């Protein structure tokens, strides 16, 4: 996919996307008996089976989806993140959860467009569940899924869901030969740490937050904080190098820290270190962001190889 077909995500969500995004990968194996087709369809079935056995990619981000053509290119004006997916058999859904106070009650699913001619999808569905497994809302249709569709944050009875909670999307695909592929819910438990209580307040800025940056210090709350930090991190001369989180009686295990570092590595971000310290029970969370100009990181890495 070219950048012209990419989605533009609103700038104020950049920091939350960086801090609260996580990717869950599941290897899906489809056996021959899953395909009722045979005979003259044998070659097609073999190809389909190979494609459906590739990894399904599900990512979580907080926020809303900006309208198309909303970005501004002038220096000093807002820039937007672009989502670009190569034409490979990879399903990439990004799930935006509702959050109280800062954003509209909306969840947006974004499907990275694949080469639909190689992967024939007859039906698709996404079921949204809470962490207890209760079905909240479902979406579906025939043929290939749309590039994006939105959820207004209400359940099947049109009641608003609880804001600030995690929701698990269950992806189901069925091809023209009758093979069904699902992303099991059990694959999510390894990475749910981002939604667990020890990290929730730190990563989502639900309470008073203070941010320290090389250009100065400031302490604000609500949308103003998010926009200010987004401006700093999203400038063209900024690289996220170090994030230091502090919160009341919070602890970050080595396993969780490694998983979080893995996310930053996948997103081509340089994470120097991340740690959570004990602090007075004030409900405050601190995020320290250190920036370098473009090329500085690469130059340092190249120098280290000599």
Other Cβ atoms closer than 10 A to 133 = 9
| Residue 177 pLDDT | 59
- 229's tokens: 């930090």
Domain with CATH 2.60.40.4070 in the chain: 3-191
| Residue 136 pLDDT | 81
From residue 150, give the alpha-carbon distance in Å to each of 70, 110, 147: 18, 9, 11
Decide if domain 3-191 falls under CATH 2.60.40.4070: yes
Per-residue pLDDT of the chain (306 residues), as tens digits, is 444 444 334 433 333 332 233 333 332 333 333 333 333 344 444 444 443 333 333 222 222 222 222 332 222 322 222 222 222 222 333 333 333 322 233 334 444 333 334 445 677 777 777 767 788 878 788 876 554 455 556 678 877 666 445 566 666 666 665 656 554 332 222 122 222 222 222 222 222 223 333 223 333 333 333 344 344 333 333 333 333 433 333 344 444 445 444 444 443 333 333 333 333 333 333 333 333 334 433 443 444 344
Helices (H) and strands (E) in the chain, counts: 6, 16
Q: Are 148 and 111 in contact (CB under 8 A)?
A: yes
């Amino acid at each position: 996919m070219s950048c012209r077909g990419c989605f533009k995500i609103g700038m104020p969500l950049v920091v939350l996307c960086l801090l609260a995004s996580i990717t869950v990968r599941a290897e899906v194996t489809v056996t021959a008996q899953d395909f009722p087709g045979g005979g003259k369809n044998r070659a097609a079935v073999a190809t389909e089976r190979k494609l459906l056995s590739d990894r399904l990619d599900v990512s979580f981000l907080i926020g809303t989806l900006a309208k198309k053509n909303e970005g501004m290119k002038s220096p000093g004006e807002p820039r937007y993140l672009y989502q670009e997916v190569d034409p490979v058999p990879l399903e990439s859904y990004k799930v935006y959860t509702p959050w109280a106070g800062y954003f509209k009650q909306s969840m947006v699913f974004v499907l990275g467009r694949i080469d639909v001619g190689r992967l024939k999808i007859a039906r698709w569905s996404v079921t949204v569940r809470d962490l207890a497994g209760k079905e909240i809302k479902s979406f579906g249709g025939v043929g290939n899924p749309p590039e994006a569709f939105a959820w207004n944050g209400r359940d099947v009875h049109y009641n608003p869901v609880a804001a600030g909670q995690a929701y698990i999307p269950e992806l189901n695909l069925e091809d023209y030969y009758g093979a069904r592929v699902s992303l099991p819910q059990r694959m999510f438990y390894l990475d749910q740490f981002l939604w667990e209580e020890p990290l929730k307040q730190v990563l989502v800025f639900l309470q008073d937050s203070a941010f320290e940056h090389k250009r100065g210090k400031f302490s604000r709350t609500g949308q103003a904080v998010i926009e200010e930090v987004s401006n700093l991190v999203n400038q063209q001369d900024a690289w996220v190098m170090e994030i230091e989180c502090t919160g009341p009686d919070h602890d970050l295990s080595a396993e969780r820290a490694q998983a979080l570092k893995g996310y930053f590595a996948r997103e081509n971000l340089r994470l120097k270190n991340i740690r959570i310290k004990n602090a007075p029970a004030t409900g405050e969370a601190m995020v320290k962001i250190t920036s370098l100009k473009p090329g500085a990181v690469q130059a340092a890495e190249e120098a280290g190889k000599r």
